[in-house]
């Protein structure tokens, strides 16, 4: 007879914890299931209650019109540390029906990389921590991760060669 109340309490807890799992909970669970290298979550996720959320959101935004409070904000910002994390983020967004915006250098005046006005909820996958630049002068080739800025690319080329270069620029609206 004593079992009954605790059993129903247990069931209630199971049910309520399942339905109260947030998008972030579900997403991070899915990421763990889909990556071999564990993600240090405290470093990879920035939630709106974190004081670094707005500064991070604004960090590469070029169009201030899309930063006003009335513009929808992402549920969280995910900053992958490895390219396999990006792959997992795409898989998990699809699986969980979360809309995904990918931001690299932020050269984006329509704010498509950090705002969604139509599809909610949405998250930002911010590639700011994937910015390695490998220059191979002998091969005339370069491997550049999407988060690197043009200045960083130029710098790494200039370190290796005084004659290699290519035209690029920053457009100001």
Ligand X SMILES: *[C@@H]1O[C@H](CO)[C@@H](O)[C@H](O)[C@H]1NC(C)=O
Q: Residue 119's CB: how many other CB atoms inside 10 A?
A: 12
100 part of the interface to ligand X, by CB under 6 A: no
Long-range CB contacts (within 8 A, 24+) of 51-58: 53/77, 56/126, 57/114, 57/124
Q: Pick from 6, 16, 19, 141: which binds ligand X (CB under 6 A)?
A: 19
What's the start-to-end Cα distance of the chain, in Å? 73
Binding mask of the shown chain, residues 127 to 146, with x at each position contacting ligand X by CB under 6 A: --------------------
Dihedral sign, Cα of residue 43, residue 80, residue 130, residue 97: negative
The residue (of 48 and 151) whose beta carbon lies closer to ligand X is 48
Binding mask of the shown chain, residues 23 to 62, with x at each position contacting ligand X by CB under 6 A: xx-x---------------xx--xx-xx-x----------
- Stretch binding ligand X (CB under 6 A), from 20-28, 57-65, 106-114, 133-141: 20-28
**Smallest separation, CB 56 to ligand X (Å):** 8
**Smallest separation, CB 97 to ligand X (Å):** 8
How big is the CA angle at 8 (ends 4 and 11), to the nearest 5 degrees?
140
Q: Pick from 9, 11, 14, 21: which binds ligand X (CB under 6 A)?
A: 21
Q: Pick from 1, 3, 4, 18: which binds ligand X (CB under 6 A)?
A: 18
CA distance 101 to 122: 7
The residue (of 18 and 37) whose beta carbon lies closer to ligand X is 18
CA distance 9 to 120: 34
Site size toward ligand X (CB under 6 A) is 14
Buried b vs exposed e over 141-152: b needs ≥16 C-beta within 10 Å?
ebebbebbbeeb
Pair 123, 27: CB distance under 8 Å: yes
Positions that interact with ligand X (CB under 6 A): 18-19, 21-24, 26, 42-43, 46-47, 49-50, 52
């Amino acid at each position: 007879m004593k079992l009954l109340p605790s059993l129903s309490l247990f069931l209630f807890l199971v049910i309520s914890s399942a339905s109260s799992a947030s998008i972030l909970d579900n997403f991070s669970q899915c990421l763990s299931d889909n990556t071999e290298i564990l993600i240090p979550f405290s470093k990879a996720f920035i939630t709106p209650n974190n004081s670094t959320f707005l500064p991070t959101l604004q960090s590469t935004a070029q169009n201030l019109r899309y930063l006003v409070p009335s513009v929808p904000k992402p549920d969280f910002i995910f900053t992958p540390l490895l390219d396999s994390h990006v792959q997992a983020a795409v898989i998990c967004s699809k699986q969980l029906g979360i809309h995904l915006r990918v931001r690299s250098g932020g050269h984006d005046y329509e704010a498509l990389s950090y705002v969604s006005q139509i599809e909610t909820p949405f998250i930002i996958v911010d590639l700011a921590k994937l910015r390695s630049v490998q220059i191979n002068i002998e091969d005339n080739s370069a491997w550049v991760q999407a988060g690197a800025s043009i200045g960083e690319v130029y710098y790494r080329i200039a370190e290796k060669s005084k004659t290699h270069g290519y035209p690029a620029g920053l457009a100001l609206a």
